[in-house]
Amino acid sequence: MRGKAPTLLCLLFLVSFLLPPHLAAEQNQRYAAIFNFGDSLVDAGNLIQNGTPDFLATAKYPYGMTYFGKPTGRCSDGRLVIDFICQEFGLPLLPPSKAHNTTFKQGANFAITGATALETEFFEKLGLGKTVWNSGSLHTQIKWFQDLKPSLCGTPKECKELFSRSLFILGEFGGNDYNAPLFASRKFKEVYGMMPHVMKSISDGIEKLIAEGAVDIVVPGVLPVGCFPVYLSLSVSMFKIKKEGFGSRSGCMKKFNTLAWVHNSLLRQTIAQLRVKYPGARIIYADYYSAAIQFILHPEKFGFEKQIPRACCGAPGEGVYNFNMTAKCGELGATSCPDPSTHWSWDGIHLTEAAYGHIARGWLNGSFADPAIILTDSSSR
């Protein structure tokens, strides 16, 4: 029997080594539930749970065409980053938190399109009440989570135990906050002035979740908005960007990408401070920015066509970006490209399922995250 024990251990090691990545993740790192917060990048249908407004193009075909075969309220042709992460850990796709007649025992998705880090009152005081569409701010979503707790656990001890074994994803937040002054043609100085308030709101949100018992918390940064067709199509008429204001390789607007980069730098500093304050928590910075830049500079590595930033689903408008404010994806006059998997930009505002899949894998294995969501031998909770 002495000789068989080492042999058995070697076989077990070999089996675990040969497991597909998602099964390896399940074997080594199980989550009881996943709770997700955010905006339209991760909204799984909260905005349409009480009926679909006629004007809401994202609830119409071809949204959902790739994976679900129909619109689900997701602002993409298929799955989002959060969907891939759930599948990686062997959990069902998260139901929208506002869904009826469903169970949330394995998690819930509180994200909703239009969400901001800051409350509506903040924008109203700046005269931006008409340019922000806040359907559920970061702290409103955390309140929805707290309201849901009685259906998840019976006592404070049970809740903390459950949440310590769950994965929390908070964001991204900030993109819609900055959109409000940008689309109101405010000066960039005013946009930068909002950043400390956005950082404090995100930091307060992380601390609220830690107080509830969260241990593993993923906090994504914002995308390089200067590369997105919705902005690029307005680069001359609204934003008055001159030729030298575009990247020579990317074709993106430098000014806008710098804004996103500064936000992400400040967010990483905020996370670093919270890691010191809460050494028992594992706070992960998730990187949308680097992934999107890679899609543009090295598209062939991801199976994307080499082209200037261009929406897969849209209509000709200002410039060559296939984005038109009067004929957005899902609206009359817009069409979809034959194969969304060859594009990273879905509708000029959001990404394709293919792009989200690459990002999710980067968050899981660490190529687009610090540290990786999936624990390795060199990392621990």
The pair phi, psi for residue 48, each rounded to 5°, is: -115, 10
Q: Decide: 311 and 379 in contact? Cβ < 8 Å.
A: no
Q: Which of 25, 60, 289 is nearest to 167 (CA)?
A: 25
Task: Count CA atoms within 13 Å of residue 135 on its CB side.
Answer: 17
Strands 313-314 and 166-170: what pairing? unpaired
In a domain, 287, yes or no: yes
Q: Each residue's pLDDT tens digit in the chain (381 positions)?
A: 444 444 433 333 333 333 344 444 444 579 999 999 999 999 999 999 988 888 899 999 999 999 999 999 999 999 999 999 999 999 999 999 999 999 999 999 999 999 999 999 999 999 999 999 888 999 999 999 999 999 999 999 999 999 999 999 999 999 999 999 999 999 999 999 999 999 999 999 999 999 999 999 999 999 999 999 999 999 999 999 999 999 999 999 999 999 999 999 999 999 999 999 999 999 999 999 999 999 999 999 999 999 999 999 999 999 999 999 999 999 999 999 999 999 999 999 999 999 999 999 999 999 999 999 999 765 555
Q: How is 247-306 classified by DSSP, letter by letter?
A: -TTT--BHHHHHHHHHHHHHHHHHHHHHHHH-TTSEEEEE-SHHHHHHHHH-GGGGT---
User: Any idea which residues carry the catalytic annotation?
Assistant: 40, 347, 350
In a domain, 337, yes or no: no
Dmax of the chain from CA atoms?
79
In a domain, 155, yes or no: yes
Beta bridge partners of 313: 336
In a domain, 329, yes or no: no
Give the CATH number of the domain where residue 355 resides: 3.40.50.1110
Please report the pLDDT score of residue 377 as a whole number.
Answer: 62
| Overall domain count for the chain | 1
In a domain, 40, yes or no: yes
67: number of Cβ within 10 Å: 16
- Across the beta sheet with 369-370, what order do the strands follow? 107-109, 33-37, 166-170, 216-220, 282-286, 369-370
Range of the domain at 126: 33-225+253-306+351-370
In a domain, 12, yes or no: no
Which pair of structure tokens corresponds to residue 95? Answer: 């139901």
Q: Which of 39, 63, 59 is nearest to 51 (CA)?
A: 59
In a domain, 240, yes or no: no
Helix, strand and coil content of the chain, in percent to the nearest 5, comes to 45, 10, 50
Please report the pLDDT score of residue 52 as a whole number.
Answer: 85
Task: Count CA atoms within 13 Å of residue 120 on its CB side.
Answer: 11
Is residue 183 within a helix (H) or strand (E), and if so which, with residue range?
none
pTM beyond cutoff 0.85: yes
Question: CA angle, 98 as apex, 94 and 102 as ends, to 5°?
Answer: 60
Question: Measured between alpha carbons, how far is 32 from 52 in angstroms, rounded to an integer?
Answer: 32
Which pair of structure tokens corresponds to residue 28? Answer: 């080594």
In a domain, 341, yes or no: no
Question: Measured between alpha carbons, how far is 183 from 375 in angstroms, rounded to an integer?
Answer: 41
Question: Measured between alpha carbons, how far is 152 from 97 in angstroms, rounded to an integer?
Answer: 12
Cα–Cα distance list, 183 to 130, 153, 261 (Å): 10, 43, 19
